[in-house]
């Protein structure tokens, strides 16, 4: 099993994997509705109606915070 990470934002569509793994259309539609991150080429695209909320994209853009740095990134300090 491989874990792949790609940078994502609300301006650039992420390529869909639903043509390879059909069940991923559920997660891709959910991410698009809740976070506002678009996907290009979803096999089953609900176009923003998969999860209905009173606020569009209620979770907005995820903020990533480094919780623990590697020892080589702290300048020798733990």
CA distance 58 to 38: 15
pLDDT value at residue 14? 92
Q: Say if 57 falls within a structural domain.
A: yes
pLDDT value at residue 3? 82
Domains: count for the chain: 1
Range of the domain at 24: 10-72
Q: Say if 64 falls within a structural domain.
A: yes
pLDDT value at residue 53? 84
Q: Say if 17 falls within a structural domain.
A: yes
Q: Say if 33 falls within a structural domain.
A: yes
pLDDT value at residue 78? 52
Q: Say if 48 falls within a structural domain.
A: yes
pLDDT tens track, the chain, 78 positions: 888 788 888 888 999 999 999 999 999 999 999 988 999 999 999 998 998 888 888 887 556 676 777 777 655 555
3-state secondary structure the chain: CCCCCCCCCCCCCEECCCCCCCCHHHHHHHHHHHHCCCEECCCCCCCCCCCCCCCCCCCCCCCCCCCCCCHHHCCCCC
């Amino acid at each position: 099993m491989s874990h792949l990470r790609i940078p994502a934002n609300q301006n650039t569509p992420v390529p869909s994997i639903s043509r390879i793994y059909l069940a991923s259309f559920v997660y891709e539609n959910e991410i698009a509705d809740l976070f506002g991150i678009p996907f290009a080429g979803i096999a089953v695209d609900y176009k923003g109606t998969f999860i209905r909320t009173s606020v569009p994209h209620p979770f907005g853009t995820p903020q990533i915070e480094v919780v623990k740095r590697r020892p080589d990134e702290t300048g020798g300090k733990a």
